[in-house]
Copies of this chain bind each other. A is one copy, B any other.
């Protein structure tokens, strides 16, 4: 049988669960719905039930369980607490203690979901083979995670790697979700690049994007870029200029080995990486220019891989 562990990615819509062997290979994965009702009070007991049933179903020996790792969509502290988790309906919660009790004493480790995904990409994904990895996730928002020496950098208040809220344009007049103006997320997220393109379309009605302006998506913009549409070209350029600038700043602070670009927008692939890298190289010290850039490769599974790693290497 051998040792085993569980890696779990707790999202606002669904909970992804993975059953792993001691080498970090995923043997099975499945999903359940996230019950946010009553401030998400059943979420941890639902997870405990899934784990205990899996152990029974596979006829596993409890003594062989290394433990349970979880990625949580909120700031996590070293002592096992989640400070606040709007997406799950939680206030301050001692996740480690509660889940350990619910599973009859299994070891539990937690981390912020973006950080845990970065760890997953380091172990099995785009950053495989490296120990010092910066991951930036371009989704609805822009998130990120920092792994140094193979370990997640959490930060004092759990906010390390929040690259989406680095100021890039002090002149911006639209407000960011964080309440300030000119954050990276306003340009480099899926919603951000759409916002930029819509603005450009006001003076560019001949663009092939003009027809779809009411239902514009990041994918639509990258498709139009492939057809050499000028509005798409400009929108992607603005996005990548700011991304390169922020990653140049990040490199000047922590000097990592590799940048891994993930999230829905990263499906755009090579064209995105090439433009980010070109902007990065213009804006960074010579000695830092040779950093590697890779696409994330685990997609939605990065979280369960990273979560398993949290517990596997403790």
User: A: which residues have CB within 8 A of B?
Assistant: 75, 132, 146, 148, 153-163, 165-167, 170, 178-180, 245-246, 248-257, 282-288, 291
In angstroms, Cα B170 to Cα A248, docked, is 13
When distances are taken between beta carbons in the complex, the residues of chain B under 8 Å from A146 are: 253-254
**What is the CB-to-nearest-CB distance from A269 to chain B, in angstroms, rounded to a whole number?**
25
Q: Are A257 and B167 in contact (CB under 8 A)?
A: no
Copies per assembly: 2
Residues of chain B contacted by A253 (CB below 8 angstroms): 146, 160-161, 163, 166, 249-250, 253-254
The answer to whether A245 touches B167, judged by C-beta atoms less than 8 angstroms apart, is: yes
Contact between chains at B287 and A252 (CB < 8 Å): no
Least CB separation from A251: chain B residue: B159
Majority SS at the chain A contact face: loop
Shortest Cβ gap from A220 to chain B (Å): 29
CA distance A248 to B158 in the complex (A): 15
- Residues of the B chain whose Cβ atoms lie less than 8 Å from the Cβ of A291: 156
8 A-B pairs closest in CB distance: A155-B255, A160-B255, A159-B255, A166-B249, A253-B253, A165-B285, A156-B257, A166-B252
Residues of B within 8 A of A282 (CB): 180
On chain B, the residues within 8 Å of A157 by CB distance are 255, 287-288
Given known contacts A167-B248, A167-B249, A249-B166, A254 and B155 CB-to-CB distance under 8 angstroms: yes
| Cα of A161 to Cα of B285 in the assembled complex, Å | 12
Which residues of B are found within 8 Å of A252, using beta-carbon distances?
159, 162-163, 165-166
A286 pairs with B166, CB closer than 8 A: no
Smallest CB-CB separation from A241: which chain B residue?
Answer: B170
Question: Does the CB pair A287–B148 fall under 8 Å?
Answer: no
Q: Nearest chain-B residue to A132 (Cβ)?
A: B156
